[in-house]
Structure 1
Amino acid sequence: MTALLRLAWQSAWNRRFTLALTIFSIALSTFMLLGVERIRTDVRESFTSAVSGTDLIVGARTGPVQLLLYSVFRIGAATNNVRWQSVEDISRMRGVRWVIPMSLGDSHRGYPVLGTSSAYFEHFQYGDRQALRIAQGKPFEDLFDAVLGADVARQLGYRLGDRITLTHGAGGPINNVEHDDKPFVVAGILAPTGTPVDRTVHISLEAMEALHVDWTSGVRLPGQNVDAEAVRAMNLQPKNITAALVGLQSRAQVFSVQRQINNYRAEPLMAVLPGVAMDELWKVIGTGEKSLLLMSGLVAFVSLLGMVAVVLAGLNERRRELAVLRAVGARPGHIIWLLALEGLLSTTIGVLLGALALVATGLLAAPWLLNQFGLVLSITDVTPLQWWILAGLLSTGFLASLIPGWRAYRLSLVDGLSPPV
């Protein structure tokens, strides 16, 4: 076997240009196949980890997916608001550790505005229990301070101290009324998280209330315009919020607290488990991941077929070489194993190069992917499916190389020392 390996290597090296093309093709297919699987896994993990460490999401009674969409992903709108008294009652329920109130509805140049409290920066977590981090500045302290997500600051070019005005509602050509009488100052910019936090403008609940003291039912009251200085002296206790994130003292209490909230008599509320709602939502939007994996698998299959085609095409030039081997005593099995080992050697080198290229590319591109696309790559974490992909590529490459090996064996039986004319 050692002699066959040495002979296979020398034979392959003698055709190193063709060998290099074959290895490059296999490396490229390995890179694509493993890369698609890595991205597919990380996209799902980024999606499901948009919020972590939160035990319940509370909002007006609606569907779990709809509540998840507008409270976590800032998509859509709530069917109804939650009274502030209800939030206070929930915070006093047995087992509740903290509550993060969230008030949505306004926007800034297409980005949603979130009114919340200081508990948001203290308790909100994403990913693997990662806390929010202020990259520049500090959380809001003044009434008209704003903290920007990383994407908002980068895309709009904002820096600390810049003044911004918010838009009433989601904005757009129909509803595009600016709260220009109450401008905000950029007090902080969050570090990238790869979650909807990056695309959100954060203000305090009191600031959200201050924006709408002279509004009712979504319309500014005619003849009433309370300026930014006058509003500071007013009572800005929020009356309603959109949703709330709830953290419990113990996970064992989650169903008990959920039942209390769902049976809350003062108003119809609903509490959902984020993980359950995430899985339900992913079943709807996650079908594309299978298509990506299928496409990369087809690329790998075509690459292996290319390897077989290259070896088969070169057999006619190697008939004299194989006949010499037969003349010096090589058995038919040796001929088959020789070409099979050449194919396995090419496949192994190609797979290793493809895997190393993926790791190097992932490490270099990870910061750029996070900043540009909000994608967190865990390039060093090998998934079970990736191990199966590597094993499948190696075994398929070996089995594919048996085809030219069998063809070479048949040719060597009829050839002599001189190639046929």
Structure 2
Amino acid sequence: MTAIIRLALQSLANRKTTALLTLLTVAISVTLLLGVERVRTQAKSSFANTISGTDLIVGSRSGQVNLLLYSVFRIGNATNNIDWQSYQEIANHRSVRWAIPISLGDSHKGFRVVGTTGAYFEHFRYGQKQPLEFNEGNKFNTLFETVIGSEVAKKLNYKIGDEIIIAHGISDQSFNRHDNLPFKIVGVLAPTGTPVDSSVHVSLEAIEAIHVGWESGANLGASPSAEVLKQQQFEPKQITAFMVGLNSKIQTFALQRYINTYPKEPLSAIMPGIALHELWGMMSIAEQALLAVSGFVVIAGLLGMLTSLLTSLNERRREMAILRAMGAKPSHIFFLLTSEAAALTAVGILLGTTLLYSMLFFAQPLIQEHFGLLISITPLTSHELMLLCLVQLAGMVVGLVPAIRAYQHSLSDGMTIKV
């Protein structure tokens, strides 16, 4: 057997060009397989880690997916607002360690404006309970200051000290802008790969201040100047939703039941992990599509190898016949060709894996910067190793086709081939 394996390697060495092309085909298919698999799993992980460390999200009575969409992903609108007094009562509940109020409804050039408090920058977590960090500046301290996400800064080319105008509602038109009340950028958040990157953050008091003189989305009169508004004290009347962190996980269900049966107004409290799982289930078609792409990529690579082996087999029929004439058994010929296929697949897997890690090393920062997706450079997972084992097995199975054909060729057929 050792002699046949050595013969297989020497045969491949004599057909360098064909062997290299076959190796390249297998390597690229393995790189794409692992790459798509990494993107699929990391995208799912990133989606699940959009919010972390938050025990409950509270909003007006609605379905948990809808509440998750507008409170975390800034998609859509709430069915109703929450009274500020209700928020304070729940935030001061003995089970609550911290609470982050958020107010939605305004925008800036297509980016949602989030009204909140300093607790947002202190307690909000994403990923593996990672805190928000600043690329530049710090959180807002005065009425007309704002902190923007990394995507806002990059797309609009903003920097610390620039002034921006907030528009009433989601559409940013000249007639619904708060033109006389510009906000000064005092902080730019570091990229998170979450909707935070595409958000403009201001204080809840600022949300109240800019709507003085507005009613039902219309400016009913001249709005006071910024100097006049800075002299006044503002307290929110309503908020859109709020996030809650508890003193103990054991208290989660008890507080959720208390909020869901809150007597003063209809509220819903959801656990973000469960809601994220439900939302991902609704988007499972995308995951299945990526899995299908992975499968077709490997099939294409293996078919390329099969084509190469079958093509070379027709050119090697005299070689096979000479080996038979020198005493090689049909089983030896069979093992020779299956060994070549196994060796090509194994080296292709090794080369493809190396190529993947090389590409990740250089492309990881660019992918995170442009797409907000962090693809970790970690050792192969058990699932990925299983996929590679399946590719190796499939490569050996593919090698059976030319091996069986060579096994069936007779000695006289091989010796009578015209050159």
Aligned AA (2:225): D
Check 1:61–1:18 CA distance in 2 against 1; reply closer, same or farther (3 A cut).
same
Can you give the 5+ residue segments of structure 2 that lack an aligned partner in the other structure?
A: none
For the 8 Å contact 2:320–2:414, the answer to whether it is kept is no
CA distance in 1, matches of 2:27, 2:414: 37
Whether the 8 Å CA contact 2:145–2:186 is kept in 1: the answer is yes
The Cα of 1:219 is off from its aligned counterpart by: 1.9
1:215 and 2:214 equivalent? yes
The aligned residue for residue 403 of structure 1 is 401
Q: How do residues 22-421 of structure 1 correspond to structure 2 at under 5 angstroms?
A: 22-172=22-172, 177-222=176-221, 224-380=222-378, 382-415=380-413, 419-420=417-418
TM-score by length of 2: 0.97
CA distance in 1, matches of 2:361, 2:251: 41
Q: How many residues are aligned here? A: 419
Q: For the Cα contact (< 8 Å) 1:359–1:380, is it kept in 2?
A: no
Kindly provide the CA deviation profile for residues 236-284 of structure 1, in whole angstroms up to 9, marking residues without a partner as x.
1111110000001111111011011111111111100001111111121
**Kept in 1: contact 2:104–2:113 (CA 8 A):** yes
Q: Offset at 1:144?
A: 1.1
Rounded to whole Å, the distance in 1 between the matches of 2:196 and 2:278 is 21
SS in 1 for 2:409: helix
- Report deviation, 1:418: 5.8
For residues 323 and 366 of structure 2, the distance between their equivalents in structure 1, rounded to whole angstroms, comes to: 54
Task: Give the deviation of 1:118 after TM superposition.
Answer: 0.6
SS at match of 1:114: strand
- Kindly provide the CA deviation profile for residues 193-244 of structure 1, in whole angstroms up to 9, marking residues without a partner as x: 000000000111111111112222222222x321101011212111111000
Quote how far apart the aligned CAs of 1:324 are. 2.0
Amino acid at match of 1:198: D
Report the identity percentage.
50
Q: Deviations over 1:93-128 (max 9, x none)?
A: 121110000011100000000011111111100011
Contact 1:53 1:129 in 2 (8 A): yes
- Residue range with higher mean Cα deviation, 50-59 or 355-364: 355-364
Q: 1:140, 1:188 within 8 Å by CA — same for their partners in 2? A: yes
User: Helix, strand or coil: the match of 1:245?
Assistant: strand
Which residue identity does 1:182 align to in structure 2? L
1:322–1:412 contact (8 Å) kept in structure 2: no
Letter in 1 for 2:32: M
Q: Is the 8 A contact 2:107 2:172 kept in 1?
A: no
Q: Which amino acid aligns with 1:114?
A: V
Cα pair 1:168 1:176 within 8 Å, conserved: no
Q: Which runs of 5+ in 1 are unaligned?
A: none
Calculate the aligned-residue CA RMSD, in Å. Answer: 1.5
- Structure 1 residue 388, shift from structure 2 partner: 2.2
Contact 2:148 2:199 in 1 (8 A): yes
Q: Which moved more, 1:251-260 or 1:294-303?
A: 294-303
Q: Indicate conservation of the 8 Å contact 1:139/1:188, yes or no.
A: yes
- Check conservation: 1:169, 1:176, Cα contact below 8 A: no
The aligned amino acid for 1:279 is H
Residue 24 of structure 1 aligns to which amino acid in structure 2? L
> Hey, what's the Cα distance between the residues in 2 that align with 1:104 and 1:154?
22
Change in CA separation of 1:28 and 1:270 when aligned onto 2, cut-off 3 Å? same
3-state DSSP of counterpart to 1:93: coil
Per the alignment, in what secondary structure is the counterpart of residue 349 of structure 1? Answer: helix
- 1:19 corresponding residue in structure 2: 19
Secondary structure of the residue aligned to 2:331 is: helix
Partners in 1 of 2:394 and 2:414 — Cα distance?
A: 32
User: TM-score, structure 1 length as denominator?
Assistant: 0.96
Pick closer, same or farther for the CA change 1:91–1:315 going to 2, 3 Å: same
Q: 2 CA distance for matches of 1:412 and 1:17?
A: 28
Match of 1:3 in 2: 3
Structure 2 CA distance for aligned equivalents of residues 66 and 237 of structure 1? 27
Give distance in 1, aligned partners of 2:175 and 2:23: 57
SS in 2 for 1:105: strand
C-alpha separation in 1, matches of 2:177 and 2:414: 90
| Whole-angstrom distance in 2 between the partners of 1:225 and 1:144 | 15
Q: Distance in 2 between matches of 1:253 and 1:414?
A: 83
Report the 3-state secondary structure (helix = DSSP H, G, I; strand = E; otherwise coil) of the residue aligned with 1:315: helix
Matched residues in 2 for 1:74 and 1:382: separation?
35
Runs of 4+ in 1 over 6 A off after TM superposition: none
1:355-411 CA-to-partner distances (Å, cap 9, x unmatched) read: 111112122111111111111212425344322211110000011101111111222
Q: CA deviation at 1:416?
A: 5.8
Equivalents in 2 of 1:105, 1:376: separation in Å?
Answer: 30
Please tell me whether the aligned partners of residues 98 and 244 of structure 2 are also in contact (alpha carbons under 8 angstroms): yes
Q: Which amino acid aligns with 1:191?
A: A
**Offset from partner CA, 1:8-36 (integer Å, 9 cap, x none):** 11100111101111111111111111111
1:113/1:200 contact within 8 Å kept: yes
